[in-house]
Structures are given as C-alpha cells and as structure tokens.
Structure 1
Amino acid sequence: MTELPALLWFRRDLRLRDHPALLAAAADGEVVPLFVVDPALWGPSGDVRRVYLLRSLRALDASLDGRLVVEEGDPATVLPAVAQRTGARRVHVTADTGPYGRRRDQAVEQALAAADRELVRTGTNYAIGPGTLRTGSGSPFQVFTPFSRAWREHGWPRPAESPGSARFVADAGAGVGGAHWPAEPDLGDLVLPEAGEEAAARRWHDFLDERLDDYAGDRDRPDVNGTSQLSAPLKWGELHPRTILAALSSERSAGAETYRTEIAWREFYADVLWNRPETAREYYRPQLEALAYAEPGAAFRAWSEGRTGFPVVDAGMRQMRAEGWIHNRVRMISASFLVKDLHVDWRHGAREFMHWLRDGDLASNNHGWQWVAGSGTDAAPFFRIFNPVTQGKKFDPQGDYVRRYVPELRHLAGSAVHEPWAAADGYAEGYPERIVDHAHERKVALDDYARVRA
C-alpha cells in the first residue's frame, strides 16, 4: 500500500526546530511543506513586513533544499486543491489564535472536511496558548501582574524534539493559484537584518552571551545595543518563546528575570486578544473613545515623518523608516506624543506602526498602543504622559541615539541635542521647530480626560 503524504502548512512558525506540528506531520509519513500567500493578510501588510516574510520563507526553503511549495490565494480554496493534488489526507498546522486566523482555519477545516480530509492543530505559537489561563473565578485576566504570576506558576513544555528523520516531498508541484513567489518590494534605503531560523538562533545566542546580564538596565537605553531585537523572529516563528524560556531556565540574573517578564507581556497581550478579539481595532475601555480627538492632518504627517521638533520622537520615527524597527522605550514616547500631545486617536498610530514595522504583531502592537493611550489594560493609565525632553535626557543621556537618526542635530554635543531651542545654533542645520507646546497639550489632555471621566 502506497504511503500518503501529509501537508504541513507553515504560517507564523517558519522554522524546523522546536516544531510540534512538524513532528505530527512527519509521524504521518512524507511531508509536503507549504506556505500560502493569503491576499487577506498580504494585501494590508506594509512592504517592510512583506520583504521580511519573503526573506524568511527563502531561508526556510533553503533549509528544505528547495522543497517549500508556495501557493497564492484563499486558503479555503488552496488547501483542498493541494491536498487533492498530492494525495494528502491530513493538513497539519500550529494553532492560530488571532481573530482572522481562527476564522480562516475554521473555513479551511470545513472545506477540507467536505473533501474527506482533516485539519490537525498541534501546538501554539506561545509558551502557553492564549485562552488557557483563568483567574480564580474563571474569568480572563485583565491585569498583567496577576496574569504574569499565573503564567509562571503554570509553566510551559520543554522544546519539542528534533525533527530528525522527517522526510520532505521533493516534487509536490507548482502552485494552483499562479505558481510563483511574490516579487520582493523595493524598500529603497531601508535596511533589514538577516531573516530566517538560523539568523534568529545566532542573534539569540549572541544576546545570551553578550547582553543578557545587562538587559535589566540597558533595555530602556536606545543609545546602546541592549536589546535582543528578536521581536520579528518571534512574530514569524523563526524562534519559539519556549526555546528562549528553556535557555533562561537556569538563569537567575536580573537581566534574565526582566527578559522573562517581557515574554510574559507578549503572551498577556495575545491572551487579551483571544478573549476580546474586538480590541484589535476597538477600545478596550470604550468610554475613552469620547475624548476630543483631532483628525490626522499635517501634525500627524509631521509625527510620522519625524518632523515634530522633539528630537527623541523624531529619532524614533526616522529609525522606523530606516530599519523597520523602533526601540521599545521610544515606541512608548512616540505613541504618547501622538495621543497625548497631538490628540490623535491611537488607532491611526497603530496602523502607521503596522505599516512600517518588520515585527508588526497585531496583539502586541495594538494593545501596546492602548496601554499608552490609557484605553487598555492598565488600571490607572491616562495620567501617564511622557515628557519627550525628560525622557530623552534620561534614556539617551549623551544624545547619541538622536544624533544617529537626526543629522540636523549632529552639531550639538551631549544632552544639548534634546533641547535645540536652548542652543544659539540649535536650528542652524535645518531642524524643524516644535509643532506644539508640550506643557500646554499635557493640560489639554488631562482636562479632556477629566471631562470624559466625569
């Protein structure tokens, strides 16, 4: 009797190591590795995410000796067609927990069942699957600290074993929807780091060896190389958080503890999105939608292009356009400036970030924006308004970060770079003047919050 192959449908798990769905597919027999370019996801993506994804897929294809099948179209149509073409009875996936992914997988499952085939979900993209943890009363967690405590107490599995003897089909055929890889968009001068599983593993081990011990203090310093920059590999599943947590299991330093907490934040936001899928686009605290927001006009464009006249904000926005990434501390400063100084609805900023970021993750990005905007899961958040000058001086004390991305201010030494208006030659190289008065706009924001709260 001829052995039938199994399909392994890659999505946000672009790796071969620590991959339970791959092991489940390999247990069925030969594996057809497949990626579907879904127009519902590809269309809204910015070019930065498209390029990073394509490069990650090419790295995966190389590790599979050119066996990766890339199709284009609606997965509910593509998957049954590929299964019929290859003779596969089962399609294996890592469970998707996002709002669209859950709907899409249900449609694929129904389409496969109609053809007497099966969708098999194995594993999760998180250490603990979203929706797993509950409070003592059985309700979802709404605050991070108790979630983090429960997350640590629950624990997570060890990394999955090596795929070892997995056999991949070498001639699974060309695509049903067009038989081509999408063309890679031109990013101009924007430079991305190397993508793929091996590059992610190198970056992780370099961080472990060189920066983990200092992470607790350096993670907030955009002027130093103090973070792991693994957000994109985690987003695309080039590296699993379970792998990271296993490597940290014997580490007791402040840096290791802080890094575990950052992983917990990522898992918390995924859990919030699982339980409240509407909060990807809507307010977690709906009453704050009544704030007096401004239309995203000229001020929004100045913010998005890094021309606000506030150096650390502008450096962050220019970093994003140069690298497809922005330091987390500066993300918070820039987001606070848009919502609290320019009074623009957080959803406009969230969309701008998702357009430019290589690590654009719906749960982390949009709930991070809600946290800053005061409409999210934080217990008393709206009064947190970042002062861009004091934040710049505190976390970029010598101004190195600002000078790296704002060439018009490179003539200013040290912390003077954060207040060009105080230097006689601060605007000599064409840097724009401040578009708002922070102290005034802070008061406007707080007064408006008091109105809504009342």
Structure 2
Amino acid sequence: MTSILWLRRDLRRADHPALLAARDAADGELIVAYVIDPKLWANAGPVRRAWLAATLKATRDEFDDGLTLLWGDPRQVVLELATRVGATSVHVTRETTPFGHRRDEAVAAVLAAAGVEWVETGTPYAVGPGLVHNLSGGPYKVFTPFAKAWRGHGWPDPAPRPRELPLRHVGDDDKATQAIRQALAAPDLPELPQAGEKAAHARWREFCDTALTAYATDRDLPGTDGTSRLSPYLKLGVVHPRTLLADLADQRGQGAQTYVTEIAWREFYADVLWHNPSSAWSDLRDPLSGMAYDEPDDAIEAWRTGTTGYPIVDAGMRQLLAQGWMHNRVRMITASFLTKDLHVWWPIGAKHFLDHLIDGDIASNNHGWQWVAGTGTDASPYFRVFNPVTQGEKFDPDGDYVRQWVPELAHLSGKAAHQPWEHPEGYAHDYPTRIVDHAEERREALRRLGEVTG
C-alpha cells in the first residue's frame, strides 16, 4: 500500500506525528508532497514567497530529495496524485485557520468519494485550538486564565524523528519548480535567515545559550538581539512549539518562563481564531463597530515607507521592508501609530504586515493588531495611545535601533535620535518632518472614541 503525507505548515522531519502516521500506514511506499496553491502564492507577496521557496528547498534536503512539489488547486492535485500512485490514505497535520479548515474539508470530501482515507494527526500547536475550555465548557476570552488552563492541560512529549522512510519521489510539477526558482530570484528581496530545520535548531540553541536568561527584559529592546527570531520557522512548522517547550521544561529562570508565556500567546490567538473565524478580518468585539476611520491617503504611504517623521515608527517600517521582520515591541508602536495617529482601520495595516512578514501568521498578526486597535480579545483599551517618542526613549534608550535603520539620524547621539526636531542639526541629512502632530491626533482619537461609547 502507498500512503501520502501532504505537508503544509509542518515543513520538518522531527517531532512530526502526521509523518509517523503516514509511515506506519505505508506498506511499501510513502510519498511526501507539498502543493503550491496558485491563489495563495499570488497573494503572498515576494518576500513571503521567497521564504517559503527557500524553506521548501531545505525541506527537500531533510527528506533526502524525496519531497514531491506540485502546483494547482489542492482539491484536484491531491486527488490526482492519490489516483496516480494508488494511495489508500492521505495524511495531514490538522489545519485550524478558517481557510485551511474549509480547504481540508473540500479535499477530504473528494478523496472520500474516491475511496481514499483522510487522516488528520496533530496540529501546528502544542495544544490544538479548541481543546482548552473554561469551567462552563466554552472558550476563554481573556489570555491570563487561558494561559493557566493551557499549562494545566499540558502537551505530549516531542515525537521521535524517523531515521528510515520508504520515500518515493514521483516527479515535480514544472510550474512548481519554476515558481520556486522565480521566487528566489525576485528583485529587491531582503536578506532572509538561513532556511530549514537544521537552521531553526541551530538558532534555537544559540538563543538558549546567549539570550534566554535575559529574555524577560531584553525581548522589549529592539536594539538588542534579545529575541529568539524563531517566529519565521514556527510560521511554516519548521520547528514545532512542543519541541521548544520540552527544552524549556527544566528551566526555572524568568527568561524561560516568559518564553513559555509568549508561546501561550501564540496558542491563545490560534484558539480565538478557531472559535471566531470572522475575527480574521473583522472586529472581534462590537463596542467600536461605529468608529469613524479615515480612508488611506498619502499619510499611510509615509507609514508604509518609513517616512512619517517619527523615528521609532520609521525605523520599524524600514526594518520590515529590509528584513521581512520587525521587532515585536515596534510592531505595537507602528500599529498604534496607524490606528490612533492616522485613524486607519486595523485590517489595512494587518494586510501590509502579512504582505511583508516572513513570520506572517494570520491568527497572531491580526489579533495582535486588534489588541492594539482595542477591538479584540484582551484588547488594549482604545484610549491607550502609544506615544512614539516616549516609547522610543523607553525601549531604545540610546537610540541605537533608530540610527541603525534611519541613517539620516546617525549623526544624533543618544536619545536625541528620537526627537530630531529638538536638535539644531536634526534635519541636516534630509530626514522628513512629522506628517502629523501626535498630541493633536491623540485628542482626535479620543474624540472619535467618545462618539461611539458616549
């Protein structure tokens, strides 16, 4: 018998329950395949396409060149593959995003009609969305009690890495190989991290050895290499969070516990999206449904290009364009600036982030935006408006992060980089002046809040 493992957000060989299930079901041949859906590919943006392409190349190495690359609508392509090789079962890691869940239901239906078994094993999370319940059996709506229940629920140990696999490569689709080649050769790509499972584990070991101890404080400092930078690998399932949690199990320091909490945030947002699929692109909470927002104009283009005249905002937006990544603290600052200073509805900013972030995860990204905008679960109150100057001075006290990404301000030392308008030489190198007055826009944001809340 032949079985198929269809990879999606699980591009790894270690700690992969669906892979083990597919191997055990294969009495002869195992086909490991990835399907590039042209609709998703077209909407991903060049940076995300390049990161996926690089990761697929590395995944092929992990599977000893046994990864089959296909192109097309999965409802057709997976069935065609199963029919061509005579597969009796198709194995997947259970998908939990609204789009992924709908797609899988459709693929499972066409396979069932053809007599091919559909088998879901595991999820991209330590605890699958929908499995943590409150005392009344419903979902949690606030993070802190969720995190406590999530820890209490627990998770299994990492699955063993299979050494020998009966892999069969059945030939790549020319459109898939061409798409990967073109993605990696796209112009103006940022410098991407090393892709693949080995690179992810190497980065994890480096972080644990050098930055984990101070993570609780350093994770908020964008000018310090204090974060793990594992989010791009977690996004594509190159490493499973259960693997990280196992390594942290014996760590008692504050840094390790804070890291576990950050994993819990990722799982919380996935759980929120599972229970509220519409919250992917609409407000989760109703109280601000009547809020007045401005239509995008030249100001949002200044935000996108990092030319707002507010140094910490511009540094973050330029880092995003240069690396396909942005420090999490700065993500909050830039999101607040768009929603509160420019009065733009959060999905516009969320989409821009997803277009450029190599770790762009719809649950974490879009609910993080809602947290800032005041419309989501555990939301920061709308009246909390991040001051880009004080945020910069607090979390980038020496101005190193700003000077790194805004070379027009490299001549300003220390905190002066956060307020060039206060320095006689602040605009000597053509840094743009502020597009809005923060104090005025804060008042306007609160005025609009009063209109909908009374």
TM band (smaller chain)? over 0.9
1:214 aligns with 2:211: no
CA contact (8 A) 2:221 2:396 kept: yes
Structure 1 stretch 134-143 or stretch 222-231: which is displaced more?
134-143
CA distance in 2, matches of 1:190, 1:202: 21
For 1:31 and 1:16, the matched residues in 2 are separated by: 13
**Alpha-carbon distance between aligned partners in 2 of 1:129 and 1:403, rounded to the nearest angstrom:** 42
Match of 1:48 in 2: 47
> Which residue number corresponds to residue 33 of structure 1?
32
Within a 5 Å distance, the mapping from 1:300-315 to structure 2 comes to 300-315=300-315
Letter paired with 2:398: Q
Residue 131 (1) aligns with residue 130 (2): yes
Name the CA shift for 1:379/1:283 in 2 (closer, same or farther; >3 Å): closer
Structure-2 change in CA distance of 1:102 and 1:227 (3 Å):
same
CA distance in 2 between counterparts of 1:197 and 1:94 reads: 17
Distance in 1 separating the partners of 2:171 and 2:350: 39
* Uncovered stretches (5+) of structure 1, i.e. residues with no partner: none
Q: Could you tell me whether the CA contact under 8 Å between 1:10 and 1:93 is conserved in 2?
A: yes
Unaligned runs of 5+ in 2: none
Show the counterpart of 1:106.
105
Does structure 1 retain, via aligned residues, the 8 Å contact 2:12–2:197?
yes
Letter in 1 for 2:242: R
Amino acid at match of 2:386: F
For 2:53 and 2:426, the matched residues in 1 are separated by 42
2:421 match: 421
Name the amino acid aligned to 1:7. I
Q: Is the CA contact (8 Å cut-off) linking 1:312 and 1:388 kept in structure 2?
A: yes
Give me the whole-angstrom Cα distance separating, in 2, the residues matched to 1:65 and 1:107.
Answer: 31
Give CA deviations for 1:197-216 in whole Å, capped at 9, x if unaligned. 11001001110111000000
Match runs of 1:237-386 below 5 Å: 237-378=237-378, 381-386=381-386
Instruction: Note if 1:23 corresponds to 2:10.
Output: no
CA offset digits 1:220-272 (Å, max 9, x no partner):
00011000011110000000000000000000101001000000000000000
Structure 1 residues 228-237 or 381-390, which shifts more? 381-390
- State the one-letter code of the partner of 2:222: P
Q: Distance in 1 between matches of 2:64 and 2:178?
A: 16
Alpha-carbon deviations, 1:119-149, whole Å to 9, x = none?
Answer: 1100110000001111111111111011001
Letter in 1 for 2:310: F
Q: Which residue of 1 aligns with 2:94?
A: 95
Q: Does 1:69 align with 2:68?
A: yes
How many matched pairs? 449
- After TM superposition, the structure 1 stretch with the greater mean CA deviation from structure 2, 214-223 or 160-169, is 160-169
Structure 2 SS opposite 1:70 = strand
Amino acid at match of 1:270: A
The CA deviation at 1:178 is: 4.4
Do 2:222 and 2:329's aligned partners in 1 also have CA atoms closer than 8 Å?
A: yes
Instruction: Using the TM superposition, give the Cα deviation of residue 379 of structure 1 relative to its aligned residue in structure 2, in angstroms.
Output: 5.4
Residue pair 2:58, 2:197 contacting (<8 A) in 1 also: yes
User: Quick check: 2:248–2:256 contact (8 Å CA) kept in 1?
Assistant: yes
1:173 and 1:353 map into 2 onto residues whose CA distance is 35
Question: d(CA) in 1 for partners of 2:178 and 2:151?
Answer: 41
Deviations 1:137-165 (A, max 9, x none): 11111110110010011111100012123
Give the Cα separation in 1 of the matches to 2:299 and 2:248.
44
Contact 1:306 1:316 in 2 (8 A): yes
> Match for 1:157: what amino acid?
P
* Structure 2 CA distance for partners of 1:64 and 1:337, relative to 1, 3 Å: same
Three-state SS of the structure 2 residue aligned to 1:52 is helix
Q: Which string of whole-angstrom CA distances, capped at 9 and with x for unpartnered residues, describes residues 307-357 of structure 1?
A: 000000000000000000000000000000000001001011001100110
Q: Which moved more, 1:435-444 or 1:416-425?
A: 435-444
SS of the residue 1:43 aligns to? helix
Query: C-alpha distance in 2, partners of 1:54/1:178?
Result: 13
Task: Name the SS for the 2:118 alignment partner.
Answer: strand
Q: Give the 3-state SS of the residue equivalent to 1:124 in structure 2.
A: coil
Q: Give the whole-Å Cα distance in 2 for the aligned partners of 1:65 and 1:139.
A: 44
User: Is residue 58 of structure 1 aligned with residue 57 of structure 2?
Assistant: yes
User: What is the RMSD of the two structures over their aligned residues, measured on CA atoms?
Assistant: 1.2
- Name the CA distance, whole Å, in 1 between partners of 2:316 and 2:145: 32
Deviation at 1:189, TM superposition (A): 5.1
Contact 2:371–2:379 under 8 Å retained in 1: no
**Equivalents in 2 of 1:93, 1:8: separation in Å?**
6
**Contact 1:196 1:238 survives alignment (8 Å):** yes
Q: 2 CA distance for matches of 1:365 and 1:350? A: 7
Separation (CA, whole Å) in 1 of partners of 2:12 and 2:32: 11
* Cα deviation digits, residues 64-83 of structure 1 (max 9, x gap): 22221111111010011001
The Cα of 1:278 is off from its aligned counterpart by 0.2
1:12 and 2:19 correspond: no
Check 1:178–1:387 CA distance in 2 against 1; reply closer, same or farther (3 A cut): closer
Superposition deviation, residue 174 in structure 1: 3.6
Distance 1:163 1:103, change over 3 A: same
Aligned to 1:153: 152
Q: What secondary structure is seen at the aligned counterpart in 1 of 2:321? A: helix
Aligned to 2:171: 173
- Given that 1:409 and 1:429 are in contact with CA atoms closer than 8 Å, whether structure 2 keeps it comes out as yes
The Cα offsets for residues 263-295 of structure 1, whole Å up to 9 and x where unpaired, read as 000000000000000000110013313212111
What's the CA shift for 1:446? 1.1
Which amino acid is the alignment partner of residue 20 of structure 2? L
Cα drift, residue 166 of structure 1:
2.1
Distance in 1, matches of 2:163 and 2:175, equals 32
Taking structure 1 as reference, are residues 196 and 438 closer, same or farther at Cα in structure 2, changes over 3 Å only?
Answer: same
Distance 1:87 1:447 in 2: 65
Of 295-304 and 371-380, more deviation after overlay is shown by 371-380
Mapped contact 1:48–1:187 kept (Cα < 8 A):
no
Matches of 1:97 and 1:43 in 2, distance apart? 22
- Indicate conservation of the 8 Å contact 2:373/2:379, yes or no: no
Between the aligned partners of 1:263 and 1:187, the Cα distance in structure 2 is 34
Distance 1:189 1:33, change over 3 A: closer
Sort the Cα spacing of 1:67 and 1:412 in 2 relative to 1 into closer, same or farther, 3 A. Answer: same
Q: Distance in 1 between matches of 2:43 and 2:164?
A: 38
